[in-house]
Amino acid sequence: MPVVETGRVIIVGAGLGALYAALHLAPHPVVMISPEVLGQGASSAWAQGGIAAAMAAADSPAAHAADTVRAGAGTVDAEVAASVTAEARAHILELTALGTPFDRDAQGGYVLSREAAHGLARVVRVRGDQAGREIMAALIAEAARTPSVQVLEATMAVGLQVQDGRVTGVAVAPADGAGDPVLLRGAAVLLAGGGSGGLYALTTNPPRIRGQVIGMAARAGAVIADAEFVQFHPTAIDMGEDPAPLATEALRGEGAVLINHDGVRFMQAVHPDAELAPRDIVARAIFAETEGRRRPMLDTRAAIGSEIVERFPAVAAACLRGGIDPVAQPIPVAAAAHYHMGGIAVSSTGRSSLDGLWACGEASATGLHGANRLASNGLLEALVYGRRAALDIAQGLGEKQASPVVLPTAATAQANAASDIANLIAKLRQVMTDHVGVVRDANGLRFALRQIAMLEAQASGDTNVLNMTATATLIAAAALLREESRGAHCRRDFPQANPALARASRLTLAEALALRQTVTETTE
């Protein structure tokens, strides 16, 4: 494999955490690895709700932390929650200074919305459902003005090089698969490449984000935490698109209600907070209606009416594509894989278990989300840990000069047939949705592990697929090992929470593969 030496910090990813870290590393030179044009294909840009922060006079970081701990179903690290929520306001002010056009009232205060499991309105947003896109636009503009930031577009990270227990480089390849990998060596590596929702057939995540970053860290030996905790968003718009468009939780914060095809509001019988119950509870209720063939729908007509077009343009546009008029009709919804609470286990400064490797954003597991992420804490975590990782990395850097990275001209790769790989990935995603989804049990999880092993064997060494199957194995294995129901992890065969298991899980890929092998060798 050709080797390119660079003194730059290598940042895998191009979303909020990656950009924020790159800016906070300046003037230290960085190179960002982006499979798409910068700003496209990142989950951050698709985020609708906004960023949770105690901005109102009646609010406080302590109250925000308390809601975070409560929503996390017993496994949130309370110290992490307190420290992250204490920083939230400063990051909102910094993004504002960078040009993010947060919604403001006539007095100049931030317009705040309430989302599920928050005690009061504290989500800072942009034009209703445009927060992710507008925040990313502001950061991209700032990155373009920052000479120390280089972006390698149309390039995908496919693996990590580890020497003597330290990560020393990243193997990258053309994102279209039409070239051989090149080893890029740098001063440090920060993984900020998103989560794992795309491993599921029904998901709200961008198409390329399918657990590869977590998988490549796991394959290098990094410890993975809370892999079993995958959050399913209750209100993905059920209109046949892949990925499924999202109907932001802010709609329910504005009074929209969930009904079934008979017009019955079913959440009132499920939880005292009805539509604003924690996401895991709403997702399971939606799933139950779907399984019962009662077609769950989000009804915005009375609460929002015609204002949905102006106030929530992304939702309105998605409905229009699907032939749905949200002003006159309820919106069909389904529970879809949305956010991975688990990921690469990191310290308070974003350090992984491997020297030379940091992680932030959805690819990481910080202890903030526990078993069930509080709405709109995802972007906040990416900001906090993107900055923390950048400052920690900077302490170990020397000279601030580095030449731009120039990759050699890609040779034609001897790749597997694209259609074969696409079919294999589609099968993997369906296995995850059918057997490692909203509700799980031991038989289904064991079946999933056997299927993942079989699909992995058919991958013929395709690195992108191996990264996916590594993460899928970790999720299914961790779910099999956690014999209880907690937060987003729901077991039919263990429906109650076990107080003795109120802690984060930690698993290496070697341990998950050993369990998979045992399951594969066991006949039922």
CATH of the domain at 288: 3.90.700.10
Over residues 104-113, mean pLDDT? 91
Confidence of residue 127 (pLDDT cuts 50, 70, 90): confident
Q: For residue 306, tell me if it sits in a domain.
A: yes
Confidence (pLDDT) at 523: 65
Beta strands 224-225; 506-507: pairing state = antiparallel
Residue 151 lies in a domain: no
Q: How far is CA 130 from the centre of its chain?
A: 17
* Residue 416 confidence (pLDDT) above 60: no
Question: Average pLDDT, stretch 480-489?
Answer: 97
The three-state secondary structure class of 432 is helix
Residue 29 CA to residue 147 CA, distance in Å, equals 8
- Residue ending a domain, choose from 280, 315, 336: 336
Q: Which DSSP category does 438 fall into?
A: S
Peptide bond before residue 408 is cis, with ω within 30 degrees of 0:
no
- 321 catalytic, yes or no? no
Average model confidence (pLDDT) across the chain: 93
* pLDDT exceeds cutoff 60 at 413: no
Residue 359 covered by a domain: no
Counting the structural domains of the chain, the total is 2
Q: Which of 308, 336, 364 is the last residue of a domain?
A: 336
For residue 435, name the pLDDT band (cuts at 50, 70, 90): very high
- Of 102-116, 158-172, 280-294, 403-417, the one with minimum mean pLDDT is 403-417
Cβ atoms of 337 and 433 within 8 Å: the answer is yes
- Among candidate residues 276, 305, 336, the one where a domain is terminated: 336
Q: What is the pLDDT of residue 1?
A: 87
- The per-residue pLDDT for range 20-57, each reduced to its tens digit, is 999 999 999 999 999 988 877 666 666 667 899 999 99
Segment 112-129 mean pLDDT:
87
- Per the structure, the complete domain to which residue 278 belongs is given by 233-336
pLDDT value at residue 279 = 85
With tokens 């209109």, the residue in question is 239
Over residues 67-77, mean pLDDT? 95
* pLDDT (0 to 100) of residue 259: 98
In a domain, 368, yes or no: no
Residue range 429-445: mean pLDDT, rounded: 97
**Cα separation of 230 and 89, whole Å?**
27
Q: Please check whether residue 428 is in contact with residue 469, taking contact to mean a CB–CB distance below 8 angstroms.
A: yes
Provide the pLDDT confidence category of residue 417 given band limits of 50, 70 and 90: low
Give the pLDDT band (50/70/90) at residue 419. confident
Number of residues that make up the chain: 524
Residue whose token pair is 């690195």? 463
Residue 225 lies in a domain: no
Is residue 455 situated within a structural domain? yes
pLDDT of residue 36: 87
Task: Say yes or no: 331 and 422 in one domain.
Answer: no
In the structure, what pLDDT confidence band is assigned to residue 179 with cuts at 50, 70 and 90?
Answer: confident
Calculate what percentage of the chain has a pLDDT beyond 70. 96
DSSP H helices in 72-184 = 78-97, 131-144
pLDDT tens for 255-274 read 999 999 999 999 999 999 99
Q: What is the pTM of this model?
A: 0.94
Higher-pLDDT residue of 279, 358: 358
Instruction: Kindly state whether residue 435 falls inside one of the protein's structural domains.
Output: yes
Long-range contacts of 304-310 (CB under 8 A, 24+ apart): 304/251, 304/254, 304/255, 304/256, 308/251, 310/128
pLDDT tens per residue across span 325-343: 999 999 999 999 999 999 9
DSSP 100-157: ----B-TTSPBPEE--TT-SS--EE-STTT-HHHHHHHHHHHHHHT-TTEEEEETEEE
User: What is the CB neighbour count within 10 angstroms for residue 26?
Assistant: 17
Q: Is residue 346 part of a domain?
A: no
In the set 125, 252, 279, 446, the catalytic residue is: 279
